[in-house]
């Protein structure tokens, strides 16, 4: 654990899945620590402080888009570190609720920087939880070696069941090489967060570390939010003895990264001395897993029937999302430790305990 004892920390969205895991690591390590969280009803079915948020965190229930919330918080704490997690996170949902997603993710970020400016505060560093969604489909390579960006699959492609791009294989995304090209409104707002904060920190000679997280899963993820957390959703079906339905042909790929590895990556990022400017790194397991493989692993665990392929699809779904973590391993004192089979087992025990 880096020495953070002199730091005053504000964590937005800090009562959520990642924020609570992070809270277990920050407790006792920082001089002062305020969490701003609206306790969004889609994530928090009960409007109460989550039990997993460490008791040492001071929780301010408020909305990051509300300037009055920021004014009250910044009158109380002049943060040296801001960890910005608050967001609307429903990728598919964001297509039809674009205004809500943009408002919280983009305007919530600009309200934060405007408020810091009003109060004359320049934190030493920002840590942003960005997303692999900024890459969209990312880069693919044709059989003749040409690297290209296929962009978003069209509705007609989905209708025809053309799941993959012909004669090409996907390349793992990595911040140093892959040009961001989001194909969801959510991804566009996460990229906008990066750009807004980059503009601000470069103008104020301070520091931004943006971590582009792959699919985070594990204990603590909302079991009631139908828009996030495919591992939790599949697990609940298999626990009930149901066959898990699988979209497309089952070969959609994701990089599933366990919550403990993600919380450790945030701590490792804080352990690297802040340098002026912007550092962007990918946080994943570095291993791609197809949705079918994931579902089979969960079904096996519960002795549930085999998953079944439905051939259904969701417009805008990315076919392949996987990252290279080589730069991240070289930058931070961090290595992911959980593979999918172990992570799935860890999650099942937690879900069973919640349901009991």
Ligand X SMILES: NC(=O)c1ccc[n+]([C@@H]2O[C@H](COP(=O)([O-])OP(=O)(O)OC[C@H]3O[C@@H](n4cnc5c(N)ncnc54)[C@H](O)[C@@H]3O)[C@@H](O)[C@H]2O)c1
What are the residues binding ligand X (CB under 6 A)?
12-13, 15-19, 36-40, 43-44, 63-65, 85-89, 104, 108, 129, 131, 190, 213, 215-216, 222
Q: Specify the residue, 127 or 304, whose C-beta has the smaller distance to ligand X.
A: 127
217 is catalytic: no
The b/e string for 293-327 (b: 16+ C-beta within 10 A; e otherwise) is bbbbbbbebbebeebebeeebeebbbbbbbbbbeb
Closest to 116 measured CA to CA, from 104, 128, 127, 124: 124
Q: At closest approach, how far in Å is the CB of 190 from ligand X?
A: 6
Give the pairing type, strands 215-217 and 256-258: parallel
Q: At closest approach, how far in Å is the CB of 19 from ligand X?
A: 6
Alpha-carbon span 30 to 4, nearest angstrom = 5
Alpha-carbon span 119 to 71, nearest angstrom = 8
Q: At closest approach, how far in Å is the CB of 244 from ligand X?
A: 19
Distances, alpha carbon 45 to alpha carbons 11, 41, 87, in Å:
21, 5, 17
Q: At closest approach, how far in Å is the CB of 77 from ligand X?
A: 16
Q: Specify the residue, 105 or 207, whose C-beta has the smaller distance to ligand X.
A: 105
How many CB atoms within 10 Å of residue 81?
Answer: 21
Q: Specify the residue, 165 or 261, whose C-beta has the smaller distance to ligand X.
A: 261
Considering the candidates 135, 149, 186, 258, report the single residue annotated as catalytic.
186
Q: At closest approach, how far in Å is the CB of 245 from ligand X?
A: 21
Q: Specify the residue, 304 or 344, whose C-beta has the smaller distance to ligand X.
A: 344
Biggest distance spanned by C-alpha atoms of the chain: 60
Distances, alpha carbon 191 to alpha carbons 58, 182, 208, 329, 336, in Å:
29, 8, 14, 23, 24
DSSP state of 242: P
Q: Specify the residue, 206 or 215, whose C-beta has the smaller distance to ligand X.
A: 215
Provide Rg for the chain, Cα atoms: 20
Active site residues: 186
């Amino acid at each position: 654990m880096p020495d953070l004892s002199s730091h005053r920390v504000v964590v937005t969205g800090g009562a959520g899945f990642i924020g609570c895991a992070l809270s277990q690591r920050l407790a006792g390590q920082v001089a002062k620590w305020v969490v701003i969280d609206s306790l969004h009803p889609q994530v928090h079915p009960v409007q109460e402080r989550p039990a997993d948020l460490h008791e040492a965190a001071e929780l301010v229930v408020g909305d990051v888009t509300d300037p009055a919330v920021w004014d009250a918080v910044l009158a109380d704490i002049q943060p040296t570190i801001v960890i910005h997690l608050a967001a609307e996170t429903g990728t598919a949902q964001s297509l039809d609720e674009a205004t809500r997603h943009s408002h919280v993710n983009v305007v919530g970020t600009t309200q934060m920087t405007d408020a810091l400016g009003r109060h004359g505060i320049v934190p030493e560093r920002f840590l942003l939880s960005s997303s692999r969604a900024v890459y969209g489909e990312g880069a693919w390579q044709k059989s003749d070696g040409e690297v290209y960006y296929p962009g978003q699959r069209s509705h007609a492609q989905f209708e025809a069941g053309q799941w993959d791009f012909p004669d090409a294989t996907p390349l793992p995304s990595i911040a140093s090489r892959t040009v961001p090209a989001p194909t969801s409104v959510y991804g566009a707002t996460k990229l906008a967060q990066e750009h807004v904060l980059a503009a601000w920190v470069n103008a104020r000679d301070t520091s931004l570390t943006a971590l582009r997280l792959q699919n985070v899963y594990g204990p603590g993820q909302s079991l009631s939010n139908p828009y996030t957390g495919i591992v939790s959703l599949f697990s609940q079906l298999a626990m009930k003895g149901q066959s898990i339905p699988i979209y497309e042909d089952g070969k959609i790929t994701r990089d599933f990264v366990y919550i403990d590895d993600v919380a450790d990556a945030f701590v490792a990022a804080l352990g690297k001395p802040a340098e002026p400017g912007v550092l962007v790194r990918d946080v994943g397991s570095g291993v791609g897993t197809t949705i079918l493989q994931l579902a089979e692993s969960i079904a096996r665990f519960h002795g549930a029937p085999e998953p079944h392929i439905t051939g259904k699809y969701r417009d805008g779904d990315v076919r392949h999302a996987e990252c290279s973590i080589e730069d991240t391993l070289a930058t931070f004192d961090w290595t992911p430790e959980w593979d999918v089979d172990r992570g799935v087992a860890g999650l099942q025990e937690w879900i069973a305990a919640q349901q009991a």
